[in-house]
Amino acid sequence: MKSNIFIFLGLLCLNLSTYAQNEVDVLRYSMLDWHGISGRSAGMAGAFGALGADLSSMSINPAGIGLYRRSDFGISLGISGMGTNTTYQDQQAKNFGLDAGIHSIGYVSSNPINNADWERVNFGIGFNRLASFREEITIKGELGNQTLLNQFVDQATGTSWNDLNQAFPYDAGLAWDTYLINPTDTVDNGSYNHVITSGGVQQEQVIERSGSLAETVITGGANYRNRLYFGASLAFPRINYNEKSTYRETTLDEMQELDHFVFEEEYAVNGTGFNLKGGVIYRATDWLRIGVSGQTPTWFSLTESFSREMTAEFKGEAPYRASTDIIANYYKVRTPMRLTGSMSFVMGKSGVINADYEFLDYSTGALGNTRNILSNYDFSVENATVAKIYRATHNVRVGSEFRLGKPFRIRAGIGFQQSPFAEGVTTSNGNIITYAGGLGYRGTHFYADVSYTHKTEAADYYIFNPENTDGSKIETTTGQVLLSGGFRF
């Protein structure tokens, strides 16, 4: 099962495959963050499914649009700090990065209608940021007898010298062109060895990621007798993901001819998709609201591009370099559907407590083909892996808001996101915990909110084949400040 962990944890530049689409894509684009849309909902840890009358409702539960009694225009700006602490071979490495941008902007038009039963019909359009891919990771340590070159030798074995570049142009072919692997003798029998013969190596892996997943959403909602609220959204999410990975091995034995080699990959994914959302909020009593919402799978059409480069530096010689062309592939990803149940307890004008339960099954995600040059490839192996290593999850968010005098609010919340991995796939606890708090101001026409969220998570990461090396543990902490403001009229 460890080999599946290796594929998930996505050292794509060291995964010896020409094409990088795999189960990593399904997971990456399925894990959404409801804590970063508006300042009000973020201050309650995204627990907003039965409340409504907030721009985040367009993505969380569209029925919340039906609760608006006035039109609304608002914008949210955020800044995040991401810290990673990596432990590998008893060595630690730390990174910190910042990310800032627009998290949401939206408009809702509230329209009373002349009907005894239907109070209002409201329409909204918005832009909501649902995930950030910003991350920097450094992994380093010493190995006695393991090197990435072992994998290149294993890959090349059985292939003729003349066919090596054509068979493995992005992996063993690069190592061959830079003299890191060589034939064992003068006979072309498909037998190879590598240049690191003793003394171990110092490894260092640096990964830089950026980008986000955000959606443009068009929503309609209605109010039936101030008791039942309906809503539906048509969403068009967009993915922008970039990753640069630099792997370096330095020999520790001074007698080795090789000083070090570097294996680099630049990887980018861009594309769009669509999904439908629908929801209902029922005001059971003056103090109890019940919400139910659902989202269809999201169907993405994606373009992937990547390139690789190998550099080898032997002592006393000029460096040898080999690189690939930029390769573009086209493929589809289908993420799981989502179901959410919500309950809100309204304490008059003093405050409110809301709880959301969300269910989604990551094992139902899938990859598919478009006009890829591998037109007959069906991704059956990757989709079988998705079904095997992922599972159904149960996520819970609880948030509260209380009045501090007439115009001011104080908020707090906690969110629990269950690990998407099946039992035994990973040794780290893959659950994600989010703590949130915030303040708000509600004037006659103007409102403003500020929130802070603190998220912690951990994952296993393998520099190369996990059957031959220990994993590293990566602990990630994210702190986010969100500022929102808007007008109601």
* pLDDT band at 3; cut points 50, 70, 90: very low
Residue 471 has pLDDT above 80, yes or no: no
3-state helix, strand, coil in the chain (%, to 5): 15, 55, 30
Among 154, 138, 291, smallest CA distance to 203 is for 138
* pLDDT band at 465; cut points 50, 70, 90: low
Residue predicted with more confidence, 384 or 472: 384
Instruction: Please count the CA atoms within 13 angstroms of the CA of 105 that sit on its side-chain side.
Output: 3
In tens, the pLDDT along 271-324 reads 999 999 999 999 999 999 999 999 999 999 999 999 999 999 999 999 999 999
Q: Which domains does the chain have, with CATH numbers?
A: 2-142+196-303+327-488 (2.40.160.60)
* pLDDT band at 10; cut points 50, 70, 90: very low
User: Residue 169: which residues within 8 A CB-CB, separation 6 or more?
Assistant: 18, 324
In tens, the pLDDT along 76-97 reads 999 999 999 998 888 899 999 9
Instruction: Please count the CA atoms within 13 angstroms of the CA of 145 that sit on its side-chain side.
Output: 1
Q: What is the pLDDT of residue 324?
A: 93
Beta strands in 44-190 (DSSP E): 72-88, 91-112, 118-132, 135-143, 181-183
Q: What is the pLDDT of residue 185?
A: 86
Q: What is the pLDDT of residue 459?
A: 85
Give the rounded distance of the alpha carbon of 19 from its chain centre.
Answer: 20
Region 141-170: mean pLDDT is 89
User: Which amino acid, one-letter code, is at 474?
Assistant: I
Residue 266 has pLDDT above 50, yes or no: yes
Question: Which of 2-6, 180-184, 300-304 has the least mean pLDDT?
Answer: 2-6
Number of separate helices (H) and strands (E) present in the chain:
8, 21
Residue 17 has pLDDT above 50, yes or no: no
Q: What is the pLDDT of residue 375?
A: 60
Residue 145 has pLDDT above 90, yes or no: no
Q: What is the pLDDT of residue 183?
A: 93
Residue 334 has pLDDT above 50, yes or no: yes
Residue 173 has pLDDT above 50, yes or no: yes
Question: Exposed e or buried b for every residue in 170-199, given b needs 16+ CB within 10 A?
Answer: bbbbbbbbbbbbebeeeeeeeebebbbeee
Residue 15 has pLDDT above 70, yes or no: no
* pLDDT band at 189; cut points 50, 70, 90: confident
* pLDDT band at 468; cut points 50, 70, 90: low
* pLDDT band at 454; cut points 50, 70, 90: very high
Contact 235, 272 (CB under 8 A): no
Residue 427 has pLDDT above 80, yes or no: no
Count CB atoms within 10 A of the CB of residue 411: 26
Region 113-134: mean pLDDT is 94
Q: What is the pLDDT of residue 369?
A: 83
Residue 398 has pLDDT above 80, yes or no: yes
Residue 370 has pLDDT above 80, yes or no: no
Average confidence score pLDDT of the chain: 91
Supply 115's token pair: 């009907």
Alpha-carbon dihedral angle through residues 422, 426, 428, 434, given to the nearest 10 degrees: -40
Contact 311, 262 (CB under 8 A): yes
DSSP labels for 383-446?
HHHHHHHB-EEEEEEEEEEEEETTTEEEEEEEEEE---BPTTS-SS---EEEEEEEEEEE-SSE
Q: What's the rounded Cα separation, in Å, for the pair 77 and 73?
A: 14
